Amino acid sequence: MAKQQHVFQTEVKEILDLMIHSLYSQREIFMRELVSNASDALDKLRYEALTNTDWKLNGAEIRINTDKDQKTISISDTGIGMSFDEVQENIGTIAHSGTKDFLKNAKNIKESPELIGQFGVGFYSSFMVADKVTLHTQKAGTSEGVLWESTGDGNYSIDSVPRAQGHGTTITLHLKETNTTEDKPQDFTDEWTIKSLIKKYSDFIEFPVKMKTVNEVPELDDEGKPIEGKTKKEESDDTLNSQKALWLKSPSEITPEEHKEFYSHVAHDWAEPLKTIHFKAEGMQEFTSLLYIPSNVPFNYFHRGSEFGPELYVKRVFIMKDCQDLIAPYLRFVKGVVDSSDLSLNVSREILQQDHQAQGIKKALVNKILKELKTTLEKDRESYVKFWNNFGSTFKEGIATDSENKEKIEKISMFYSTNSDELTTLQEYVDRMKEGQKDIYMLTGDDLDHLKTSPYLEKLKEKGYEVLLLTDHVDEWVAESLTKFADKNIVSITKENLDLDTEEDKKKSEEELKENETKYSALKDIIKKALDSDVQDVKLSNRLTNTPVCLVQASNAPSARMEKLMESMGQKPPKSKRILEINPKHPVIEKMLASEKETQSDWAEILYNQALLNEGSPLKNPHEFSEKISKLMMN
Ligand code: ADP
């Protein structure tokens, strides 16, 4: 094929523009990205060679060459290479997820370039350090070489050019004049710089990363003794990485620095991992697993449909990343690798879904992670709270989705409560329960501060009963499954028939209630009539002290917040009318009793709207409400 000129897709131009012009101080990550691509290419070839006898993984290596005079650095691999079409597809279009996310976050990146490293920016990162990049590749099993070239200014050329070395890929970077950022001059043709970058980012890569280095060695005399003052240059071929798959080392041999490096590779987070879980399973399932609980929330963690799951290796052969079938979705924050001895090298995602070995691995991983989390809670609460603040809101989903481990998850779940500003566990709550307190109480809502002053708490506060305050989106849904702990019922305090009284209290309040029933019977009817389309019933209540009314839901009906959530997800739940409870002891209700019938109907509307505000729901008709308030003020 003849040489062709092409224009980059608009999106690619945008990415390149950001790469070239952002003031990113860690340009060196281009090395990590290119070496990782080279290693992927070797992995792919090895994998293909298992089934395709024409393809051979001979002399698998990644090689770095530099030319100080030309100011170039090249990274070559003897991997699978790319065909003409594949180069077109892969380099110049944005088909892969890393760059798509990159674009979505373009604005943030402009403001804080340190985010660049979080994205799988891959090949394009070359343009951070180079003003011209050539890629020369040949697909294994073919004899046609492809030369791709670009200066990153919007165009690239692509041509058929034979590749003398055979299959594999060479990427040559023509380095920019200055690759210095303020205080950090970096010469990427410098041997020492390259060595330290490979160590830093690619030490665990299984294939050797090699470089010819020239060392100054003493010249020797005939007897083999060094001649004083005389040296000669000697070339040696060095392997720069240790190549040892970290997870195969014994845990005691791995240094914190090695963990940090590996964690940054699998999690794209440059901090220390919060927790490391390294274990070898023997017996039914044989596998080694090195997992991390991240110390930061990944930028795309809450995107629906984000990929998750460990990388899968079979006997050190990389198979695939994001193995969702090896971990429960509520543990999707976990990063790392699983290296199995039992799975077949041909395992695909589809097979993985049904494979009982894979299910066994998943079960073992989930158990292990839950156990580690439990130990962390017991031994290192500070870390646990950090974990909880980052991932608790999704971890809790397990209460509703993993019936097998529900109890374990409940035991290590944390909640805010009226007890203090600190998170508490259910067991700690139970240990603090007051004498006479029958149930565990909870209240859900959007905002912790609002919940703390909620009128629903009035009576419970009076009794000194603690209430769990749940503010995460998933709580409404999780709460449906969170029904019992340590033989105590977990009760929402916004449901009707909240039973807080002791038998003795009950007798007393029943008498009082009877008296009030007669006294308020007519008023109740008027309120009910006025609010006929909004509430299903009006009841006298003793749950309130300082508030005249509140809305509660029938014991089997979804909460107001649950309805709102369902609506926000595009569903149309049947509107369940709620019950208006009125506090007969409140002066407003007493005053209402003594008012004109017409005033009573107006007030019923106002009180209903107040109840809506108190539970965090929008007003039925804000304009009507404010008119009624104005009218009231004029009286
Ligand atoms: P990513 O690696 O995140 O997919 P890149 O932009 O780095 O994104 O690369 C895009 C694609 O180009 C890769 O998925 C791969 O198919 C191909 N590619 C890149 N480098 C090489 C290489 N050295 N050998 C073979 N294919 C490569």
- Same domain? 445 vs 532: no
Cα angle 424, 427, 430; round to 5: 100
- Same domain? 234 vs 256: no
Q: Domain range holding 194?
A: 4-216+230-239
Are 586 and 459 a contacting pair, CB within 8 Å? no
Is the residue at 268 inside a domain? Answer: yes
- Which residue has its alpha carbon closest to ligand 1 atom 11? 90
Distance 89 CA to ligand 1 centre (A): 10
> From the CB of 43, is ligand 1 less than 6 Å away?
no
226 pLDDT higher than 80: yes
- Same domain? 235 vs 250: no
- Same domain? 85 vs 189: yes
Whole-number pLDDT of residue 189 = 93
- pLDDT more than 70, % of the chain: 95
Q: What value does the CA radius of gyration of the chain take, rounded to a whole number of Å?
A: 33
**Which ligand 1 atom sits nearest the alpha carbon of residue 96?**
4
Q: Provide the CATH number for the domain around residue 89.
A: 3.30.565.10
Whole-number pLDDT of residue 97 = 53
- Same domain? 294 vs 348: yes
Number of domains in the chain: 4
Q: Average pLDDT of the chain? A: 88
SS3 536: strand
- Same domain? 53 vs 10: yes
Q: Name the phi and psi angles at 280, rounded to 5.
A: -120, 125
Q: Provide the CATH number for the domain around residue 275.
A: 3.30.230.80
Q: Name the phi and psi angles at 572, rounded to 5.
A: -120, 85
Distance 21 CA to ligand 1 centre (A): 23
Q: What is the largest CA-CA distance in the chain?
A: 123
Residue 231 CA to residue 448 CA, distance in Å, equals 73
Q: Which residue has the higher pLDDT, 605 or 29?
A: 605
Give me the half-sphere count of Cα atoms (radius 13 Å) on the Cβ side of residue 591. Answer: 8
> From the CB of 298, is ligand 1 less than 6 Å away?
no
96 pLDDT higher than 70: no
- Same domain? 320 vs 356: yes
> Model pTM greater than 0.75?
no
> From the CB of 547, is ligand 1 less than 6 Å away?
no
Whole-number pLDDT of residue 116 = 65
- Same domain? 341 vs 257: yes
Residue 375 CA to residue 369 CA, distance in Å, equals 10
Residue with tokens 């070395």: 165
Q: Name the phi and psi angles at 331, rounded to 5.
A: -105, 25
Distance 123 CA to ligand 1 centre (A): 7
Considering only 254-263, 347-356, 368-377, 419-428, which range has the smallest mean pLDDT?
347-356
Distance 185 CA to ligand 1 centre (A): 28
SS3 589: helix
- Same domain? 207 vs 257: no
**Helical residues (DSSP H) of 157-273, grouped into ranges:** 191-202, 256-267
**Which ligand 1 atom sits nearest the alpha carbon of residue 122?**
7
Is the residue at 29 inside a domain? Answer: yes
Distance 289 CA to ligand 1 centre (A): 26
Whole-number pLDDT of residue 347 = 80
**Helical residues (DSSP H) of 279-436, grouped into ranges:** 349-354, 356-379, 381-395, 397-401, 406-411, 426-432
- Which residue has its alpha carbon closest to ligand 1 atom 4? 96
- Same domain? 332 vs 378: yes
Whole-number pLDDT of residue 553 = 81
Which pLDDT tens digit goes with each residue over 142-190?
Answer: 999 999 999 988 899 999 999 999 999 999 999 998 755 555 668 999 9
**Which ligand 1 atom sits nearest the alpha carbon of residue 37?**
20
Q: Which residues are within 8 A (CB) of 111 and not within 5 positions of it... i.e. 6 or more apart?
A: none
Is the residue at 615 inside a domain? Answer: yes
Considering only 78-87, 113-122, 506-515, which range has the smallest mean pLDDT?
113-122
CB 567: neighbour CB atoms within 10 A?
Answer: 12
Are 540 and 584 a contacting pair, CB within 8 Å? yes
Q: CA dist 133 to 17, 37, 113, 493, Å? A: 15, 15, 22, 65
- pLDDT more than 90, % of the chain: 47
280 pLDDT higher than 90: yes
Whole-number pLDDT of residue 493 = 92
- Same domain? 550 vs 470: no
402 pLDDT higher than 90: yes
Distance 177 CA to ligand 1 centre (A): 26
Could you tell me the two tokens for 117?
Answer: 């490293």
- Same domain? 235 vs 256: no
Distance 406 CA to ligand 1 centre (A): 41
